[in-house]
Amino acid sequence: MSKLKILFTYLKFRYRHFPTREKLEAYQQKKLKKHLAFVTEKSEFYQKYAGHELNDFPIIDKGIMMDNFDKINTVGISKDEALEFAVNAERTREFDSKLKNITVGLSSGTSHSRGAFLVEKTETEKWAGFVLAKFLPHGILGTYRVAFFMRANSNLYESVGSKNIQFEFYDIYADMDKNIEKLGKLGADILVAQPSALLMIANALDEKKIDIHPETVISIAEVLEKEDEQRIKKSFGLEVIHQVYQCTEGCLAATCKCGTLHLNEDIVFIEKEYIDDQRFVPIITDFERTSQPIIRYRLNDILAERKIPCPCGSVHTALEKIEGREDDVFIFNGKDKDIKIFPDFIRRCILFAGNIRDYRIVQQIDGNIVIYSDIDDKMKDKVVNEFKKLAEDNHFELPEIRFEKYTYDKNRKLKRVERLI
């Protein structure tokens, strides 16, 4: 692990600043040109696009990526080889091992088949530098204890450890009560975890089971809902909960000091496929990824743009929020066509009904809705009424709504609004 490289990347990200949007875009074009030249030379899949503009490259998705895995990657690793290696690492929980000096991860697919992703060692170092640059409150010379909760370990994250920066890894597959107890003993200056784990820790704080005072709390991996964010802020006594919007395809956005998510347009070029005047599906081209090029890769996510500029003054696109996955848009029967309803509107049926803390709303394959929440009959009626209003306003036929006890499988990502397919 090269500390010099981390430091260099750290400085680059910390102090690379674009005073105008034009300067940022000019920088992107320069990086794109260089990167596309590399990709068309090294990747068999992209060879035939040599000399072409980005617009000429095909838009791909996870399916196409996995089908052409062997030809797309530039390091001669086959899909079977990568999958076998990654599955084995998950099973034995030995995440330090590398295949041909490449870190292989398994992406937890929801709707699609599982996928593998490749990250080179140098890229790992870049990533570490990026995390340090974005979130260390006192820069790299401060002393920090970082508590990192994650679904499965990966040596991506452990690589950040150094003399004055200590990384404590908490496996969320393990007993969470024990994890929280350990966290209470060790403390943390920076706490990184997915919202579901942050909520559990917030509860432990509220119940005075632990007493920790992290200066920075960073939410990762799952969508952080506004009302959960409020709860976490309150329990930790913080003004801002930071977020990293990240997927196996890269780190796409991170919060600024004001708590606004900005796209990382200095690493990733993002084309926006608008679905209304505010929401878009991102198509990403990552000009730092070399082992597994990510070129015009269409994500399954819906992002909502922020209409007013962020007070921080950044020229990077600001987001209002991450709406959720495109697959989680609910589909209802309209008069003569399907009516699509964004997760945000489904969520509001709960929010408008009253103060409901824990809930999940799932649209089943048959189109019916199951609401998992521990609420009384009066509240259930209110929720149903909200759905009736939604159906009237949008002219769709309201399916059956059933209530169940609140449950959630911690081995999966917590999603408040989900459509099964």
Rule CB under 5 A: which residues touch Zn ion? 256, 258, 260, 310, 312, 314
Rounded least distance, CB 376 to Zn ion, Å? 41
C-beta closer to Zn ion: residue 197 or 224: 224
Alpha carbon distance 222, 244 (integer Å): 9
> Shortest approach of Zn ion to residue 74 CB, angstroms?
35
3-state helix, strand, coil in the chain (%, to 5): 35, 25, 40
Which CB sits closer to Zn ion, 253 or 295?
Answer: 253
In the complex with Zn ion, the residue whose CB is nearer, 77 or 256, is 256
**φ, ψ dihedrals at 324, nearest 5°:** 135, -170
Neighbour count for residue 339 (Cβ, 10 Å): 15
Which of 77, 263 has the CB closer to Zn ion? 263
Please classify residue 50 by burial: count the beta carbons closer than 10 Å to its beta carbon, then call 0-12 exposed, 13-18 middle and 19+ buried.
Answer: exposed
Kindly tell me which of 86 and 310 has the beta carbon lying closer to Zn ion. 310
Residue 30: exposure state from Cβ atoms within 10 A (0-12, 13-18, ≥19): exposed
- What secondary structure does DSSP assign to 92-157, as a single string? HT--S--BTTEEEEEE--SSS--EEEEEEHHHHHHHHHHHHHHH-TT-TTS-EEEEEEESS--HHH
Instruction: Please give the full DSSP string across 355-380, using - where no structure is assigned.
Output: ---S-EEEE-TTS-EEEE----HHHH
**CB 194, CB 171: distance < 8 Å:** no
What tokens does 341 get? 């309803």
Helix boundaries (H) for 146-267? 155-158, 176-186, 195-206, 226-236
- Given a contact cutoff of 8 angstroms between Cβ atoms, the answer to whether 82 and 215 are in contact is no
Smallest gap from residue 139 Cβ to Zn ion (A): 19
H-run or E-run covering 87: helix 79-92
Least separation, in Å, of the C-beta of 101 and Zn ion? 37
Parallel, antiparallel, or unpaired: how do β-strands 279-286 and 294-298 relate? antiparallel
**How far is C-alpha 326 from the chain's CA centre?**
14
Tell me the closest approach of the beta carbon of residue 322 to Zn ion, in angstroms. Answer: 15
CB nearer to Zn ion: give 18 or 345.
18
Question: Longest C-alpha distance within the chain, in Å?
Answer: 65
Nearer to Zn ion, 40 or 264 (CB): 264
Do 328 and 340 meet the contact criterion of CB atoms below 8 Å apart? no
Spell out the residues 6+ positions from residue 127 whose beta carbon is closer than 8 angstroms to its own: 119, 156, 159, 251
Question: How many residues are present in the chain?
Answer: 421
Q: How far is the CB of 252 from Zn ion (least distance, A)?
A: 15
Q: Which is nearer to Zn ion, 109 or 137 (CB)?
A: 137
Q: How far is the CB of 402 from Zn ion (least distance, A)?
A: 42
What is the nearest approach in angstroms of Zn ion to the Cβ of residue 318?
A: 6
In the complex with Zn ion, which residue's Cβ is closer, 259 or 399? 259
Nearer to Zn ion by C-beta: 223 or 310? 310
Structure tokens given for 291: 């082992």
Closest CB 126 distance from Zn ion, rounded Å: 23
Is 399:389 a contact under the CB 8 Å cutoff? no
Residue 23 Cβ, how far from Zn ion at the closest point, in Å? 17
**Least distance to Zn ion, CB of residue 258, Å:** 5
Enter the DSSP assignment of 338. E
Pick 300 or 317: Cβ nearer Zn ion:
317
Q: Map tokens 């035939």 to a residue.
A: 48
Angle (nearest 5°) at CA 224 between 107 and 144:
80
